[in-house]
Amino acid sequence: MIAVLLVGGWLAYGVVTAKRQMSAAPPRETLELKTQPFKVWTRLDGHLASRKSTPVSSQLSHKSVVTSLMPDGAAVEVGDTLVTFDAEPIEVEVALLEQEVKVARSDEQSLLQAELPREVSDLQRELKNKQREIDDQSEGLKEHEKLRASGILSEREYERQRRLLADFKEEVESLELQRKQMAEVLHPARKLKARSQVEAAEARLARSQTQLADCKILATSNGMVMYQPLHIDGEFRTVREGDTLFRNQKFLVVADMSDLLVHCEVPEANLRALKQGQPAAISPVAFPNLQIAAEVERVGTMAHSLAGKPTWQKFFTVSVKLRETHPRLRSGMSTSVEVMTYQKDSALLVPRHLIRWKDGFATCVRVRPFGGDELIKFQAGAGDHAMVEALTELKVGDVIAAP
């Protein structure tokens, strides 16, 4: 009798314990499948850049000292002064060259209006005098011929008069040749030399005046001033007043902040999901709460390697265009980009935590309507960090549970 009571007590204790354990167990998670809109966003990392950036550098032929700078990050318009250089040495040079031009022009004017006309006049006067002498000698020779015919003048004296006339004629021919050479060669050459000296002086002055104008760099486009770091005096920094810069040394960029892009380097394995025109949203790392609408503008066609990455790993450059801008944005900012790579208005979605993967297929537990479970293997489609689209086997109304 005692044994029966002991066995009954143990049985009663086991039933009570089992009920307590069952009541303490958490309820099983189940989910009834239904369709709903589904979007998949792919995250990319990149940096912000202006589509139109105007580099600025010194155009002075010699090294130059910076005397003033537009503040970094300042908004500028066309015609605003960005940088000025020390102009005193060039101003002195311009003053000297202006005097040189005046002297060259004066010399040319003196040559054209005084020297050359005087030489022509002197030569013409000499020619007239020689011609007059020829006329006189010709008349004298005729008288000598009469005297010689009458026997009064000897042949020797007549011949002397004839040679004298021939000498005068040779002198006139020489002067005529000189006048021709003067008109065709000598004077044109001197005019050309004087004109060349004037033009050379004017060219030197124009270059110096251009250099003087280049001492002030003006903005050629609207945008934002951004200084680029340089190696200056043993430091790697942006330029400051008093620094010396050289010709064509780029130290500043005016970036058009109204037209911005984000350039992303995407591994080739992820490239198939990206297409031109896909909607996107960008968020600067510095301002994570700021989101700006964008879209994929271009997917690169040339693979390349990146510094610090294995050479076998290839990347493609993807450009994302911002649809609007914001005053906080700066060129070169690090940004995260969310690209909508998949969209479906009605998708059958399965939570990831209810899925197990086997042999490349997704599996989940489906609860039968009248009790019991069955393991379902289905084909998975697009997915994000929380949901996966079911393409086969499962249907609307199915109840699935955690394995």
DSSP 184-230: IIIHHHHHHHHHHHHHHHHHHHHHHHHHHHHTEEE-SS-EEEEEPPE
Look at residue 24 in the predicted model and tell me its pLDDT. Answer: 47
The 3-state DSSP class for residue 319 equals strand
d(CA 376, CA 356): 10
* Closest residue by Cα to residue 72 from 82, 84, 63: 82
The 3-state DSSP class for residue 272 equals helix
d(CA 275, CA 290): 24
Give long-range contacts, CB 8 A cutoff, 24+ apart: 84-87. 84/215, 84/216, 84/217, 85/58, 85/60, 85/214, 85/215, 85/216, 85/245, 86/215, 87/212, 87/215, 87/216
- For 43, other C-beta atoms within 10 Å of its C-beta total 10
| Centroid of chain to Cα 27 | 64
Look at residue 23 in the predicted model and tell me its pLDDT. Answer: 47
d(CA 387, CA 366): 17
Look at residue 5 in the predicted model and tell me its pLDDT. Answer: 43
Sites in the chain below the pLDDT cut of 70: 1-26, 141, 143-144, 146-148, 150-154
The 3-state DSSP class for residue 376 equals strand
Look at residue 109 in the predicted model and tell me its pLDDT. Answer: 94
d(CA 83, CA 330): 21
Look at residue 47 in the predicted model and tell me its pLDDT. Answer: 94
The one-letter amino acid code at 12 reads A
d(CA 198, CA 137): 49
DSSP annotation of 374: E
d(CA 227, CA 293): 28
| Centroid of chain to Cα 255 | 10
Residues with Cβ within 8 Å of 250's Cβ and at least 6 positions away in sequence, in order, are 55, 56, 57, 228
